[in-house]
Amino acid sequence: MITKQFKKSFTQQEAIPEDGVNSALEVLRSGKLHRYNTQVDEISETAQFEREYANYQGARYCVAVTSGGQSLQIALRAVGVKSGDKILANAYTLAPVPGAIHAAGALPVFVEIADDWLTDIDDLRNKALKSGAKFFMLSHMRGHIADMGAICEICEEFDITLIEDCAHTMGAMWKGRKSGNFGKVACFSTQTYKHMNSGEGEILTTDIDEIAARAVILSGSYMLFERHGAVPSREVFQNISLETPNCSARLDNLRAAILRSQLSILDHNIQRWNQRYRIIENGLRKTPWVRVVERAQHEAFVGSSIQFHVEFQTTENIRVLIDACQCRGVEIKWFGSEDPVGFTSRYDSWQYLGDIPKLPKTLSVLSTTCDIRVPLTFDEHDCENIAQIICEEAERVAVLVE
């Protein structure tokens, strides 16, 4: 039997659009890379981008920041998190989330996830009650949006401030409302593997004057905040500017220029991601050893990655499948591996947090969870091939070991 080999890279993104390259060159030629290096009445590339993103998101304010983790930390501080505060967080997330909580001096209280990777609502309620935490940092991990109606109700009932980590839900919606518009503040990563690519970077949005003002000072505006170009009025800063630390995390005009060119094609790209996602999803349905989880109708997600469960008897057999796919060029991330590899997303990898109470449900769900990236450099045929290779190898492993 001839076996197909997959040759493309799972981490290769598309080129920056040509108009983005040109505006980046203009910024370079001007020498004005620092966002506050402006004349009176001049709007920096960064401020321009913030206005455009705020408009896209339907948020009043937007603050662009150097990295995802830094922006999450700024978001926590901006909503008033103090050292020693407890922060609820879903246990399935990426390392910058616990890192940001730790950096803010706060303590995470992890909440279980369910089989569909969504926040377990009963566990959230239970932990909200028992911990007394007044903050919830919710990661819409890998683009899966939990029951936001139930989550908002719990937050209201227990007076919890919701912070949304929308690293994989930029442009996504839940019941017609944009992801990021449910909490007091939201963060959208623009790190290379997310929905817009500036290498590193992140966008913070909020509707609340004080949070926006604090985020601007935290991001490192010095007393130049009036040149920011997209912020609340001067009065709002009065009590904030001298009481808020500078965490030096300003985005620069070069990256803003690159991002502006991608924002205008974001919705188009979302359609392209979802086309690819559906092809892989449908392809994976062809083997009984792989289980895809049906997405809820009301969740308008962005299929920039796809998750599925492998239903072998033992996790060792999942390892055999992962290795077999790897040999044929299909790179699968398996969250059940005992040793953390690549980007870590399991709470037991974060030992600096001290003793974390066991989360048996989350560990059990992750033990069969696989994940593949869907970069836009894959075409539809590539997506068919990927699904086919996974199905073939799953059948082969099943014959050998099941």
73 binds ligand PLP (CB under 6 A): no
Closest-by-Cβ residue to ligand PLP is: 68
Closest CA to 88 of 130, 21, 134: 134
How far apart are CB 400 and ligand PLP at their closest, in Å? 34
**Alpha-carbon span 108 to 111, nearest angstrom:** 9
Q: How many residues bind ligand PLP (CB under 6 A)?
A: 16
Q: Token pair of 293, please?
A: 């989880």
Length of the chain: 402
The answer to whether the CB of 45 falls within 8 A of the CB of 260 is yes
The answer to whether the CB of 263 falls within 8 A of the CB of 270 is no
How far apart are CB 332 and ligand PLP at their closest, in Å? 17
How far apart are CB 311 and ligand PLP at their closest, in Å? 26
- Looking at the DSSP bridge assignments, the partners of residue 61 are 206
Q: Mask: binding to ligand PLP, 159-198, rule CB under 6 A, as x and -? A: ------x-xx--------------------x-x--x----
123 binds ligand PLP (CB under 6 A): no
Closest CA to 6 of 286, 395, 372, 400: 372
Q: Mask: binding to ligand PLP, 83-122, rule CB under 6 A, as x and -? A: ----------xx-xx-------------------------
- The residue (of 100 and 290) whose beta carbon lies closer to ligand PLP is 100
Q: Token pair of 213, please?
A: 């003002």
69 binds ligand PLP (CB under 6 A): yes
Q: Token pair of 388, please?
A: 């086919």
**Alpha-carbon span 365 to 396, nearest angstrom:** 24
- The residue (of 95 and 265) whose beta carbon lies closer to ligand PLP is 95
- The residue (of 67 and 179) whose beta carbon lies closer to ligand PLP is 67
- Looking at the DSSP bridge assignments, the partners of residue 204 are 63, 187
Q: Helix, strand or coil for residue 134?
A: coil
Q: Which residues bind ligand PLP (CB under 6 A)?
A: 67-69, 93-94, 96-97, 139, 141, 165, 167-168, 189, 191, 194, 202
